[in-house]
Structure 1
């Protein structure tokens, strides 16, 4: 998109009370973001059917927003931008209800990212949950899929790391502006993700990671994906919100069974009771989303890893279990 048009998309996106639904209505009525920016406030209020209180708030925000500054800001921070009118805008995301008009990102977005699966779960994950998430991220990345998650603590972090460990593609979706890395301890992970995929956000720069942003972020995680895998989730976990969005968007929902004595398994087990596909391994996911296995499979990678071990190391490797072991 040309800079002269892009700056108005960025400016409208900066106004919190506009949102995707109202923005698309303006776009449809006035024909372009820049044309809508030039019209009088009374006409916009009429088109959007705004009450006086909301109307006053929107136009106060609009008067404090400078399209040129918004454009300068993305150049200053070296941030890439896609609008829904751009050819590289993610195909899967474009089909959801009210997709984000604008995506800010660092890294790369490629056409093959349409073959993607999201892996989500608890921030307070168990050892088992993190191990499963990392292995799934690794195996699915080896199978040629892009791993989508939210870069939160716990399951998200493990899934991203699994993909990165085999040089696979992974995308992190933030619930804040892309100039804020949250949680802060994942700054290095964010850099690694940018080198093998992208860190993206629909929120304008300077947006803080506030609680109300995360459900909106979750719809993008599921929207980018062909299916969503819930690894560990308590009964009121944010991961279940992502699963609900996936169902609304007509995407597959998967769940990993866990320890029946762990509260972090309750949400996942309830999903399975409600019809989510139970996952034993990455192949269960590939079969459901109809992605053919390429030559480089997870099994081949496992064989390659094992053949590099000495005889003594192989003996130790066979003794080690997937549970913590006392030495």
Structure 2
């Protein structure tokens, strides 16, 4: 889009009471956002059917915006912008009800991102939840899908990391401006995501991560995706809001079963009861969205299983499963000395076959 027009898109999008619905009304009536900006206040109020209070707020805000400065701000912060009229605007998002007219992002958005799955869940994730989210994300990324999430603590962070671990594409959708990284401890992760995908937001620069922004963020997460996977979620979790949006948008909803005694399983289990597809591996998702699993994933698993191992390594590797096991139990079952078991466990970790977790416990990757 030409910058002379873009500055007006940025300006209208900055006005808090002009959501997508009013934005598109202006575009339809005036024929262009440029013309809408130049129109008289009375005409705009009539087109949008504004109450006097809302009209006052809108025009006070509009009078304080200088379009040229909005364009300068984008350049100064090196932010990329797409409008609904741009050819690279995400195909999946364009089909939802009132898609965001403007997207701000760091990184790249490519056509293949239409083949994407969102993975969401609680910020207070268990080790099991984070492990499942990371593994599922990794396998889906290997299958050529882009992983969408919200870069929040817990499940979101694990989902992004899973895709990045295999050089896959991942997109983080923010509930604030792209000039704010939230949570702040994910600053390094944000940089990695930008290099292998994008950080994206419908919110103007300088927008803070306030509570009311996150449902809107969740609508974009589901809208970008062919389907949404809920890994761990309590009964009133934001992840369930994302699942509800996915259903409204005609997208698939998947759920990972969890511990029946954990409150963090209630959300996913309720979704399954309501008809969401139960998922325990990436193939369940690929079959539902009709994307074939490339041979490279199967080959990767074969290579992993046949990595050159010593007899002692094979013995211990066979003892370890996907469920955490204590080192004392490994020593007892293997009949090897404690020193030898520690040595072998370290070798298996270096070969990326197992992982140590808290309490001197190990599990197979």
TM range, smaller chain: over 0.9
Name whichever of 287-296 and 13-22 sits farther off: 287-296
Distance in 2, matches of 1:278 and 1:62, equals 48
Given the superposition, is the C-alpha separation of residues 306 and 5 from structure 1 closer, same or farther in structure 2, using an over 3 Å criterion? same
Unaligned runs of 5+ in 2: 328-365
Q: Which blocks of at least 5 consecutive residues in structure 1 are unaligned? A: none
TM-score (structure 2 length as normaliser): 0.88
Deviation at 1:303?
Answer: 2.5
CA distance in 2, matches of 1:104, 1:304: 41
- What is the CA-CA distance between 1:177 and the residue it aligns to? 0.2
SS in structure 1 at match of 2:296: coil
1:213-266 CA-to-partner distances (Å, cap 9, x unmatched) read 000000000000000000001000000000000000000000000000000000
Alpha-carbon distance in 2 for matches of 1:284, 1:206:
40
Match of 1:51 in 2: 51
CA distance, structure 1, for counterparts of residue 275 and residue 153 of structure 2: 27
Measured against aligned partners, the alpha-carbon deviations of 1:183-204 in whole angstroms (never above 9, x if no partner) come to 0000000011111111100000
Tell me the C-alpha RMSD between the 2 structures.
1.0
Is 2:204 aligned against 1:204?
A: yes
2:200 & 2:315 partners in 1: Cα distance? 44
What pairs with 1:130-145 in structure 2 (closer than 5 Å)? 130-145=130-145
Q: Tell me the distance in 2 between the aligned counterparts of 1:187 and 1:225.
A: 24
Matches within 5 A, 1:1-327: 1-297=1-297, 299-311=298-310, 312-327=312-327
Runs of 4+ with deviation above 4 angstroms: none
Deviation at 1:131, TM superposition (A): 0.5
> Which has the higher relative contact order, 1 or 2, with Cα contacts under 8 A spaced 6 or more apart?
1
Deviation of 1:46 after TM superposition, in Å, equals 0.5
Q: Distance in 1 between matches of 2:304 and 2:212?
A: 43
Deviation at 1:309, TM superposition (A): 4.8
Shift of 1:293: 1.7
How does the TM-score come out when normalised to structure 1? 0.98
Greater C-alpha Rg? 2
TM-aligned CA distance change 1:73 to 1:315, over 3 Å: farther
Q: Deviations over 1:156-213 (max 9, x none)?
A: 0001100000001100000000000000000000011111111100000000000000
